[in-house]
Amino acid sequence: MTGAPARWPEGGGGRISIAILAMGGQGGGVLADWIVTLAERQGWAAQSTSVPGVAQRTGATIYYIETAPPRGDALPVLALMPTPGDVDCVMAAELMEAGRSVLRGLVTPDRTTLIASTHRAPAVVEKQAPGDGVADPHAVVTATDFAAKRVIAFDMEQLAKSNGSVISATMLGALAAAEVLPFPREAFEATIRAGGTGVEASLRAFAAALAQAKAKPVEPVQRFPQKKFVAWPAATGNAEFDELGVRIGRFPAEARPMIAAGARKLVDHLDAAYAGEYLDRLAEFAEADRAVGGAARGFAFTVAAAKYLAGAMAYDDLPRVADLKLRAGRQTRVRREVGANEGSIVTTTEYFHPRVEEMCATLPAKFGAWIEARPRLVARLRKVVDRGRRISPNTISGYLMLALVAQQGPKRRGSLRHVREMAHIEAWLDAAKAAFGVDYDLGVAVLGCRRLVKGYSDTHARGLSKFDRVMGALPLLKARADGAVWLDRLTRAALADEKGVALDGVLKTVATL
């Protein structure tokens, strides 16, 4: 306990209540301990409780703190959990947790200061959607603007990382700037020093957040990160790559960034010649787009073709997945995500569940088709192949197993999967060109249908089934002026849930048009 007791809270002498909503690993417990220690060192009574969520990402832990200044010999009576309408400050370590605090009634316009980090950590239900299941952050921002007396909201996670610390330090800085607690900055900093772990980094993050909260307490949020396209280099020193760059430069300027990104993806997937095949296909689309005045539409047809064709040609197969698992960049990302210190040993376990279909698809086309044509042989192979596997690339056996599969990647041109993918791509592009001849927007929508096809194994099979069902409705929509709108609705419905319940409903509606 240091210094004289601080003044009573304004508005009539009583406790100050703070609710912290944080997920596992975000340091909510550390932040609560800091606040309790801070209050006690200033001569106040304080206590904290916590109600854990069901799991790390299916429910945040709520840490509740009540603190009150001394009043002679009388001891304050402090509550054990937050009560709706009776919380002075809510601190949310993630944007959607701020929204949930509003729904719980913890945030009120006459009393509550809301401190929230605007970064996102998608929940399980958001990740389960086959398409874009991310909740709209602007709905949360609108709700908090009305619900809270005062809002401090910016990306505290990124600010903490840029200062080599964790979000609990930046949230404490925002709390100090909010002046919810009547304690000087020095008292906050002394509390951090008393912790004895990562002090300097925590102090830097604390100071940065305090300055940010005072200068610009609210930052606008974005649902999606801004895309950053890297132009194809003017000279690479490789004749094949330089030729690709020259060819990309012949396309409309509006489409070049997307085309360059697609070419990079396909060079990485196979080789420069494969990227050249990509540009061959795109050249036909760009010419047709220009002929119908596509410049006035920003060459939307060419851009869509560049985006979705690259994704289609860079299909996921077993060699591709194995290759990605072994890359050094992935190990670096994993270490960063788990917060491993330098010198720490980090191991990963990769989960695979290949089927006989994936095995046959990796084989030379004729051999793979020969096996698939023999049901009795396939049934025997299923007993050996169709089972889940846990492989660790950090072990010699695991690494060699993945490396052996990854080495088949450069040979994929002759595989059964490649033959089938190319046939499917040609049929899809033909449908897009035919639709484009009827309606520009419908052609763009047909290209967009390809986002339904992704992944490998069961995921690929489900996506391909949905794609076929959506494309099956195309003949019914070609004659309609709003055909592109309906095709886009079908695509979004197919991405809404794994089982395709939403797609069933929209298809029934289309059948009645």
Per-residue confidence (pLDDT) for residue 19, from 0 to 100: 92
CB-based contact 202:137 (threshold 8 Å)? no
User: Where do the H-state alpha helices sit in 297-453?
Assistant: 300-313, 318-326, 328-338, 356-362, 365-372, 375-385, 396-406, 416-438, 440-448
Distance between CA 56 and CA 277 in Å, rounded?
Answer: 45
Most confident of 13-22, 44-53, 164-173: 164-173
- pLDDT band for 414, please (50, 70, 90 cuts): very high
Does pTM surpass 0.85?
A: no
Per-residue confidence (pLDDT) for residue 32, from 0 to 100: 92
Closest alpha carbon to 27 in 190, 201, 166, 123: 166
- For residue 116, what are the β-bridge partners? 92, 153
Provide the CA 54 distance to its chain's centre, in angstroms.
22
pLDDT digits (tens, 9 = 90+) for 188-217: 999 999 887 788 999 999 999 999 999 999
80 has pLDDT over 60: yes
Sequence length of the chain is 513
Q: What is the mean pLDDT of residues 99-114?
A: 89
What are φ and ψ of residue 187, in 5° steps? -65, -40
For the 16-215 domain, the top CATH level (class) is alpha beta
The amino acid occupying position 222 is Q
Q: What is the mean pLDDT of residues 54-60?
A: 55
CB-based contact 491:449 (threshold 8 Å)? yes
Share of the chain above pLDDT 90, in %: 44
Q: What is the mean pLDDT of residues 254-277?
A: 94
283 has pLDDT over 50: yes
Query: Could you tell me which residues come within 8 angstroms of residue 305 by beta carbon, excluding any fewer than 6 positions away?
Result: 281, 282, 285, 429, 432, 447
- For residue 113, what are the β-bridge partners? 89, 150
Q: Is 321 exposed, middle or buried (0-12, 13-18, 19+ CB in 10 A)?
A: buried
Per-residue confidence (pLDDT) for residue 262, from 0 to 100: 94
pLDDT digits (tens, 9 = 90+) for 322-372: 898 888 888 888 887 777 777 788 888 888 888 888 889 999 999 999 999
3-class secondary structure, 328: helix
Per-residue confidence (pLDDT) for residue 430, from 0 to 100: 93
Closest alpha carbon to 446 in 454, 455, 437: 437
Min mean pLDDT across 222-231, 306-315, 373-382 is at 222-231
- For residue 47, what are the β-bridge partners? 66
Min mean pLDDT across 30-34, 112-116, 382-386 is at 382-386
Domain boundaries, the chain: 16-215, 328-415, 444-513
Q: What is the mean pLDDT of residues 111-135?
A: 76
State the chain's mean pLDDT as an integer.
Answer: 86
- pLDDT band for 69, please (50, 70, 90 cuts): confident
Question: Where do we find the tokens 């006690």?
Answer: 40
Q: Is 422 exposed, middle or buried (0-12, 13-18, 19+ CB in 10 A)?
A: middle
- pLDDT band for 4, please (50, 70, 90 cuts): very low
Per-residue confidence (pLDDT) for residue 265, from 0 to 100: 94
- pLDDT band for 131, please (50, 70, 90 cuts): low
Min mean pLDDT across 87-91, 168-172, 189-193, 493-497 is at 493-497
Min mean pLDDT across 75-89, 262-276, 404-418 is at 75-89
Question: Where do we find the tokens 């316009």?
Answer: 109
CB-based contact 463:453 (threshold 8 Å)? yes
Q: What is the mean pLDDT of residues 293-303?
A: 92
- pLDDT band for 56, please (50, 70, 90 cuts): very low
If one counts every other C-beta atom within 10 angstroms of the C-beta of residue 150, the result is 15
Instruction: Record the tokens describing residue 334, joined without a space.
Output: 């994993």
Per-residue confidence (pLDDT) for residue 71, from 0 to 100: 78
Per-residue confidence (pLDDT) for residue 11, from 0 to 100: 38
If one counts every other C-beta atom within 10 angstroms of the C-beta of residue 231, the result is 12
